[in-house]
């Protein structure tokens, strides 16, 4: 039996509430008692209708997208023949820069109906999205629809999903050995996010020229035992740059981490001539400054894209329940089903297989502390 084809159909979908709407008269009974109006003066069947401006649901033509991949709940059908397909290189407020396969770039606005659909996302368009758009002149256009997404790196922000970048397959987690201080808890949160999104993670320890690299060996050993690839790098000396260049060739790679760890400096080393702006760490608080303000896709000579992202000091997981967190830690996951209680939180219960594994050093205590920190303070800033 052949597989059923995915066809467009009429779909009822939720829209954002409008600021103005027609109100039903609320004083009909009083007016009738005072003025004795004739029945014929009233419009027959006046009621609050489920149509027009008074409803937050409308019927459109489109296709349901896969919610787990981070796509829009409704993927609008495009019937305009004068359209092009491109990739969103960066988002600037209400506008996006879209690049076609031919290398042309257009500054595009977003179709009003897309902006009106009520979604769980903070913004309807994200860097990396594949979109249909209609050119308006030589350098401008209007985005009509967003294609299905995969490889979505996201977090919770103001109660909604903030998609940092979409359609990538490699996440390079950049941490600095010093200036700013190394934050293993934040690395672990990025690893959990990568596990959830089915992205391949690579951990890069930058600025190793400022310390004795042997100081990092215990931490690197823990990650290596879990199967995570780690790279010691120095953007100033060029250490690890060739290895990184080989990893990102012909791939869609996003560089992420807190401010000041050297993401832009590493990208400048991988692709000569980029000239991305960099700043030194603040001398007042030893923290990085926000130099990169928006996620940006950068095509590279060896094939594929690099994605530079703003520094992140807060990484709250999106759409992950407390019960699911343990399963996203590679070292904790094997022990979850051996606890005495099926709803064990692995924090305070007796006969907890996870806590016993920590006591026996089968789970690294620092990694376990990262797990507890994530459960007890999911929105912590670093």
pLDDT over 90 (residue 273)? no
Tell me the HSE value of 168 on the side-chain side, using a 13 A CA sphere. 37
Q: Residue 73: which pLDDT band, with cuts at 50, 70 and 90? A: very low
Of 129 and 7, which is predicted with more confidence?
A: 129
pLDDT at residue number 60: 47
pLDDT digits (tens, 9 = 90+) for 163-200: 999 999 999 999 999 999 999 999 999 999 999 999 99
Query: Which has the minimum average pLDDT: 9-13, 27-31, 277-281, 323-327?
Result: 9-13
Q: Which residues contact 130 (CB under 8 A, 6 or more apart)?
A: 85, 86, 87, 88, 146, 147, 167
Q: Residue 78: which pLDDT band, with cuts at 50, 70 and 90? A: low
pLDDT at residue number 59: 45
pLDDT over 90 (residue 298)? yes
pTM of the model: 0.80
Q: What is the CATH number of domain 153-308?
A: 3.40.50.300
Q: State in words which class domain 64-146 has.
A: mainly beta
Topology adopted by domain 322-376: Ribonucleotide Reductase Protein R1; domain 1 (1.10.40)
Of 8 and 258, which is predicted with more confidence?
A: 258
Domain limits of the chain? 64-146, 153-308, 322-376
pLDDT over 70 (residue 381)? yes
pLDDT digits (tens, 9 = 90+) for 89-125: 999 877 999 999 999 999 999 988 887 776 788 888 9
What are the b/e assignments for 95-105, b being 16+ CB within 10 Å?
Answer: ebbbbeeeeee
pLDDT over 70 (residue 284)? no
């Amino acid at each position: 039996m052949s597989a059923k084809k995915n066809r467009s159909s009429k779909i009822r979908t939720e829209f954002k509430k409008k600021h103005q709407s027609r109100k039903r008269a609320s004083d009909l009974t009083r007016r009738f008692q005072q003025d004795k109006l004739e029945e014929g003066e009233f419009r027959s069947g006046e009621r609050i209708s489920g149509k027009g401006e008074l409803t937050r649901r409308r019927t459109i033509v489109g296709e349901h997208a896969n919610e787990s991949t981070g796509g829009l709940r409704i993927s609008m059908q495009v019937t305009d023949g004068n359209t092009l397909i491109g990739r969103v290189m960066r988002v600037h407020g209400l506008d996006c820069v879209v690049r076609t396969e031919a290398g042309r770039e257009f500054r595009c606005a977003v179709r009003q109906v897309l902006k009106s659909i009520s979604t769980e996302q903070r913004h309807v368009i994200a860097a990396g999205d594949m979109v249909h758009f209609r050119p308006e002149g030589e350098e401008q256009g209007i985005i009509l629809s967003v294609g299905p997404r995969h490889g979505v790196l996201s977090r919770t922000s103001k109660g909604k999903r903030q998609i940092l970048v979409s359609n990538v397959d490699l996440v390079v987690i950049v941490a600095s050995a010093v200036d700013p201080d190394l934050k293993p808890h934040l690395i672990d949160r990025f690893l959990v996010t990568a596990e959830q999104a089915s992205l391949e993670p690579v951990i890069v320890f930058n600025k190793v020229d400022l310390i004795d690299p042997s100081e990092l060996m215990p931490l690197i050993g823990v990650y290596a035992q879990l199967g995570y690839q780690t790279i010691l790098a120095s953007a100033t000396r060029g250490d690890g740059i060739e290895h990184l260049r080989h990893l990102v060739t012909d791939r869609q790679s996003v560089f992420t981490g807190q401010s000041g760890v050297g993401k832009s400096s590493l990208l400048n080393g991988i692709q000569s001539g980029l000239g991305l702006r960099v700043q030194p760490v603040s001398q007042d608080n030893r923290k990085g400054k926000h130099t990169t303000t928006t996620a940006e896709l950068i095509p590279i000579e060896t094939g594929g894209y690099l994605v530079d992202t703003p520094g992140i000091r807060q990484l709250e997981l999106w759409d992950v329940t407390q019960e699911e967190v343990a399963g996203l830690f590679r070292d904790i996951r094997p022990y979850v089903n051996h606890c005495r209680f099926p709803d064990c939180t692995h924090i305070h219960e007796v006969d907890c297989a996870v806590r016993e594994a920590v006591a026996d050093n089968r789970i690294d205590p620092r990694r376990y502390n990262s797990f507890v920190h994530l459960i007890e303070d999911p929105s912590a800033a670093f």
